[in-house]
Amino acid sequence: MKTRITELFGIEHPIIQGGMHYVGFAELAAAVSNAGGLGLITGLTQKSPEALANEIRRCREMTDKPFGVNLTFLPTVSSPDYPGYIRAIVEGGVKVVETAGNNPQKWLPGLHEAGVKVIHKCTSVRHSLKAEAIGCDAVSVDGFECGGHPGEDDIPNFILLPRAADELKIPFVASGGMADGRSLAAALSLGADGINMGTRFIATQEAPVHENVKKAIVAASELDTRLVMRPLRNTERVLRNAAVDRLLEKEKTLGANLKFEDIIDEVAGVYPKIMLDGTMDAGAWSCGMVAGLIHDIPTVRELIDRIMAQAESIIRGRLARFVA
């Protein structure tokens, strides 16, 4: 299948594995790339630029296909060593970077000079247009269904994707609610050039996370996520657990007086405990509503082959029949 995204990134299938904290290690990124998609290493999961450089080397040993690095620009007081992370990406020969969080404009000239293509995560059309204006090569348009941070506009993909298609000139992928060939066919129909999957890739054999995490996703329905940190305008979609219930109770009790410090036990330093140790009630962790469409834990290759076969069957068969 050829789309503007497969052409841009030199990949076989228009499927990208999103950057996920303590999930996007070399093992998963390489598996996705080897299966014809675009795998991503999560940059800030690596504690230093040197650690990221080592992770890039590890990934290079596992695949000769294109892979990328996700780099989230955080609005923090003590900023990570972003120049060091960029240097590790460029010197590691990585040709695709997924940026997220704050505006990546100041980093684009150096990345483009090194021949790196940049896809920026956006939760609205206006942010997508800004990404296009500053020179991003593509955008990942994240609908309200997505796990992690869906923004504050609450626009689901059935509206957001065609709106993005109306406005954007650069290619974009659909993120949030993407799980199978139906998702891919629908996203293409709505104007996207591919899909970005996060939660679905956690429930694969190669995902280097605890089995408890994979089983929790398979057991969950589309009703089992919650939105936290709305009062702080830092909304995150997470899988419901005991810690999330505690957090929501604090939000309800404290109302407008809520401060980040009040919920720090439920959100800080959670990911190693959940993803590596499998302590499922340790805190709030990102998960999409798409959990309701996830019923098994296949290999990455089985999953991607299945998605492509189903999408092709829908496009050539079901949809073609309606206009025959």
Q: In the chain, where are the structural domains located?
A: 4-208, 221-286
3-state secondary structure of 151: coil
The answer to whether 29 and 6 are in contact (CB under 8 A) is no
Half-sphere exposure (Cβ direction) of 312: Cα atoms closer than 13 Å: 10
Q: Is 220 helix (H, G, I), strand (E, B) or coil?
A: coil
pTM over 0.95: yes
Asked if 72 and 52 touch (Cβ cutoff 8 Å), the reply is: no
Per residue in 277-298, pLDDT (tens digit) is 999 999 999 999 999 999 999 9
Measured CA to CA, the distance from residue 101 to residue 217 in angstroms comes to 25
Q: Has residue 38 got a pLDDT over 90?
A: yes
Task: List, in sequence order, the alpha helices (H) in 63-172.
Answer: 82-91, 108-113, 125-134, 157-167
Mean pLDDT computed over every residue of the chain:
97
Residue 93, pLDDT score: 98
One-character DSSP codes across 170-202: S-EEEESS--SHHHHHHHHHTT-S-EEESHHHH
The band of 77, judged by pLDDT with boundaries at 50, 70 and 90, is low
Whether residue 76 is predicted with pLDDT greater than 80 in this model: the reply is: no
C-alpha–C-alpha distance, residues 322 and 324, integer Å: 6
Q: Does the structure show a pLDDT above 90 at 147?
A: yes
Say what the pLDDT of residue 75 is.
74
- pLDDT number for residue 145: 98
DSSP bridge partners of 138: 119
What would the pLDDT profile of 250-259 be if each residue is shown by its tens digit?
999 999 999 9
Rounded Cα–Cα distance for residues 34 and 55 (Å):
17
Share in percent of the chain as helix, strand, coil (round to 5): 50, 15, 35
User: Which CATH architecture group holds 4-208?
Assistant: Alpha-Beta Barrel (3.20)
Rounded Cα gap, residues 303 and 35, in angstroms: 9
